[in-house]
Amino acid sequence: MLGQYTKWLENITIGLLLLTIFTIFTDVVLRYVFNNSSITIQEMGWHLFSAMFLLGISYTLQHDAHVRVDVFYAKFEVKKQAWINIIGFVIFILPISVLIIYDGIDFSYQAFLLNEQSGDPGGLPYRFIIKGIIPLSFILLIISGLIFTQNNFKKIKS
């Protein structure tokens, strides 16, 4: 099950990266070759990049590839590193994730109720979709964090 979850995160992130590249490439070709521009394509690039970044956070945590200050951490023994990872999840990742999920659900729901859309003519409608990815990404981050914590407990027991 863990392997499927991680593979799913990887596939989603890679898919969003490829779509972002294609969208930005299309925008550049339209702008510089055909002297034309599309607000819809520009906003789609922003939305895809945002979704890729937000959903990629969970994938990065799963592979223990997140940013941290390794000046001291790298010199610690494996069990001490595992404890730091567990404490970091409980103190930092979990509380901020719960807060963002709590506020993010209402944030996206209000956008849905208001039928919020881009303020630019020709911009994207349904802004609640990208706003809904915010709480979704932090739900996935908590799931990834729990798996990460479980893996660190295994390191402590071994």
Q: CA 93: distance to chain centroid? A: 13
Q: Which tens digits make up the pLDDT trace of 93-150? A: 999 999 999 999 999 999 999 988 888 888 888 889 999 999 999 999 999 999 999 9
Domain boundaries, the chain: 2-157
Surface-to-core class of residue 5, CB atoms within 10 Å of its CB (0-12 exposed, 13-18 middle, 19+ buried): middle
* pTM to 2 decimal places: 0.86
Residue 119 CB coordination number (10 Å): 7
Average pLDDT over residues 21-35: 93
Type of residue at 121: P
Type of residue at 27: D
